[in-house]
Structure 1
Amino acid sequence: MPRAQLRYILAALVALGAPSFAAAQVIEGPAEVIDGDSLRVAGIEVRLFGVDAPEFSQSCYSKGSEVACGAMAKDVLAGLIENSVLSCQPRDTDTFGRIVATCKKSGVDIGEALVEAGWATAFRRYGNDYVSAEMRARAPRAGIWQWDFQMPEDYRAAQQAELQPRTGRSSPRPAARARRYEGNGQCLIKGTHSRRGDWIYHLPGMPYYDATRAEAYFCTEAEAQAAGYRRAIVR
């Protein structure tokens, strides 16, 4: 079915007040991976429902060193799909006009498999379908959970803020969302009190981070600073 015709059908369902996209025609065909959570199926661009993988340009951090986890997530999705024919059930459309769908390969939910392997997060904003799969990945620190990373949604917001043009001194560019330091559900910034009474915090990858006994944990530097801590001086 041509893309224009499919979009017409989906738009018609919305206009008629249909409660869901369950009646929309299933998209079937060979798939081409675009990034960690989107692909083309039978020539139609599809965003996997309920999952959020690192953006292709996004990096994770291993003890302060960058890891190209966005590109790796794309490779993992490609490995899951291989050259198989996918069957995708449309669920919605996104702000870019893409079909948002649950896609299966021989009955296996690709989105669930991706999350359970640790290469995408459960996109809770749109549902809790894959929260259990995410928990199963986080416990053994599978995939991206072995590193520090910014949630993909926050990364996109930060990138978008960087692209916003300045309109003058009275309208400064919106600030990017602060990078979050989290791992396995735990905030990773360590706050400690020095012998001299200084309140300082250490980021993952900093010298002495592993040896530091934390008296408080924070997910962002802003949180640590708001609590009265300052960043440790690295010499």
Structure 2
Amino acid sequence: MGLGVAFPSVKTGGLEAAQTATFAPDKTTPQYSGKARIIDGDTLALGAVKVRLHGIDAPELAQTCMDAQGKIWGCGQWSMAALQSLAQDTVQCAQTDVDRYGRIVAVCRAAGVNLNHAMVAHGAAFAYAKYSTDYITAENQARKSSLGLWQGGAQKPAAYRAEKRAQAQQDHAAVQEPAPKGCTIKGNISKSGRLYHLPGSRWYEKTQINTKNGEHWFCSEEQALRAGWRAAKG
């Protein structure tokens, strides 16, 4: 049984190992089920409930990898397609935790297949050893067989995310403009609106000003208020 995804040159394995992986929640374990909407290779939604697959970490959607011939391919999109293929039937999820983003963390099954295990066994996701060792064996087998992500070079998603965060911080810092002499009040535009920050206030040091985006340096609170800004809380 193949994955039937959009990158046929990427070798994958069968579902046999995934079908034998078991997870037996007790009666007190919160359960969720329904038709899944796939968000990426390790996240899905059952109605309004977002579910992060326990113990695995899939490439980010924009992430690329290298195949056995050294060619770049869209492994993030491929991973999402792999989960879509596996989760076509009704998905049943047993909650194991809640993550810092408020998503349910769960072990999910569809058509008798443990989706968490299957994604790792196919080489479509990594075992997330930071949080669980449940799928280390499946990952080792996928690596030995050069399946999916393991047929070439693939950066771990956590490292990819860290690099993106660091780059975003550098880009943000690069647009910081020096304050005009005597005008040190920061007029920042955020999702909370137009706020001004006084030197020594809670968010002053972390706030970056980019006048090209309509932000301003003010010389006094009166000037900021006249311009339509309001004081930031804290």
Other structure's SS at 1:126 match: coil
1:137 partner amino acid? A
What runs of 5+ residues in structure 1 fail to find an aligned partner? 1-19, 172-235
Specify the alignment match of 2:156 in structure 1.
151
Partners of 1:68 and 1:22 lie apart in 2 by 40
Which of the numbers 77, 81, 96 marks the counterpart of 1:75?
A: 81
Instruction: Kindly report which structure 2 residues correspond to 1:170-185, keeping only aligned pairs within 5 A, or say none.
Output: none
Specify the alignment match of 1:29 in structure 2.
34
Q: Taking structure 2 as the reference length, what is the TM-score of the superposition?
A: 0.60
1:69 partner amino acid? C
Which of the numbers 103, 106, 116 marks the counterpart of 1:98?
A: 103
Other structure's SS at 1:88 match: strand
CA offsets per residue over residues 143-180 of structure 1, 9 Å max, x none?
110111210110011111112221869x9xxxxxxxxx
CA offsets per residue over residues 54-96 of structure 1, 9 Å max, x none?
11100002355321010001111101112x1111011111121
2:107 partner amino acid? T
The answer to whether the Cα contact below 8 Å between 2:123 and 2:150 also exists between their aligned partners in 1 is: yes
Which of the numbers 153, 156, 162 marks the counterpart of 2:167?
A: 162
Specify the alignment match of 1:174 in structure 2.
none
Partners of 1:46 and 1:166 lie apart in 2 by 34
Specify the alignment match of 1:66 in structure 2.
72
The answer to whether the Cα contact below 8 Å between 1:88 and 1:103 also exists between their aligned partners in 2 is: yes
1:70/1:28 Cα in 2 relative to 1: closer, same or farther (>3 Å)?
same
Specify the alignment match of 2:140 in structure 1.
135
Higher mean C-alpha displacement, 54-63 vs 21-30: 21-30
Partners of 2:129 and 2:27 lie apart in 1 by 20
For residue 22 of structure 1, report the CA deviation from its aligned partner: 7.4
Partners of 2:32 and 2:75 lie apart in 1 by 29
Other structure's SS at 1:114 match: helix
1:44/1:142 Cα in 2 relative to 1: closer, same or farther (>3 Å)?
same
Q: Which has the larger radius of gyration?
A: 2
2:82 partner amino acid? V
**RCO higher in 1 or 2 (8 Å CA, sep ≥ 6)?**
2
Specify the alignment match of 1:107 in structure 2.
112
For residue 106 of structure 1, report the CA deviation from its aligned partner: 3.3
Partners of 1:129 and 1:22 lie apart in 2 by 21
For residue 21 of structure 1, report the CA deviation from its aligned partner: 9.8
What runs of 5+ residues in structure 2 fail to find an aligned partner? 1-24, 178-204, 206-234
Aligned-residue CA RMSD (Å): 2.3
Specify the alignment match of 1:198 in structure 2.
none
The answer to whether the Cα contact below 8 Å between 2:70 and 2:152 also exists between their aligned partners in 1 is: no
The answer to whether the Cα contact below 8 Å between 1:21 and 1:91 also exists between their aligned partners in 2 is: no
| 2:55 aligned with 1:42 | no
1:144/1:22 Cα in 2 relative to 1: closer, same or farther (>3 Å)?
farther
